[in-house]
Amino acid sequence: MKIAVYPGSFDPVTNGHIDIINRAAKIFDLVHVAIIVNPEKTPYFGIDERMNMLKAAVGGIKKAKVDSFDGLLVDYAASKKACAIVRGLRAVSDFDYEFQMALTNLRMCPEIETIFIMTDYKYSYLSSSLVKQISSLGGNVSGLVPDSVLKKLKSRKRS
Ligand code: PNS
């Protein structure tokens, strides 16, 4: 059984992330979509909110499971018996950070490969930060995020 971990902040999950999860699920038997609990940056949405939005969004993808983790990613991946870490690559600007992370993780855990999936061109400009900014300034983000996120962003604006 080929198991992968797709880690991230998912603050919030976007349709770009969902595209990567769908495509990873075609390659692997099981994809653990793993939300980091304590990133260095303070998240906009708490861990429970991010988990709920992601669960609602990937409910239809049978081979994907939503989970959370803290500590080292390679330790988490090893605990799930994953052979790969999946990351999405948008533009060249992602490369430096991803290259550094992939090589650091490989040094710590040579058994786990990092696999990059190119983001669909439709989402190549999309990021969670842009979504939060547009939404908080009153813009429309429908089509960019799953419905579960759209609802949450709207309720956040009202409160
Ligand atoms: O969605 P993000 O914010 O780009 O995801 C970054 C993430 C969660 C993959 C990265 O910060 C991470 O793996 N954190 C766990 C700590 C760790 O293992 N650090 C060493 C890897 S270089």
Q: Residue 77 Cα, ligand 1 centroid: separation in angstroms? A: 12
Q: What is the mean pLDDT of the segment spanning 8-17?
A: 97
Separation CA 118–CA 112 (nearest Å): 19
Q: Residue 42 Cα, ligand 1 centroid: separation in angstroms? A: 14
Residue 32: active-site member: no
For 156, the 3-state DSSP assignment is helix
Q: Which atom of ligand 1 is nearest to the CA of 104?
A: 22
- Predicted confidence at residue 39, as pLDDT, reads 65
Separation CA 6–CA 73 (nearest Å): 10
Neighbouring residues of 55: CB distance < 8 A, sequence distance ≥ 6 = 66
The reported pTM is 0.96
- Predicted confidence at residue 93, as pLDDT, reads 85
Q: How confident is the model over 20-57, as pLDDT tens digits? A: 999 999 999 999 999 999 767 789 999 999 999 999 99
- Predicted confidence at residue 155, as pLDDT, reads 87
Q: How confident is the model over 65-101, as pLDDT tens digits? A: 999 999 999 999 999 999 999 999 998 889 999 999 9
- 5 pairs with which residues across the strands? 32, 85
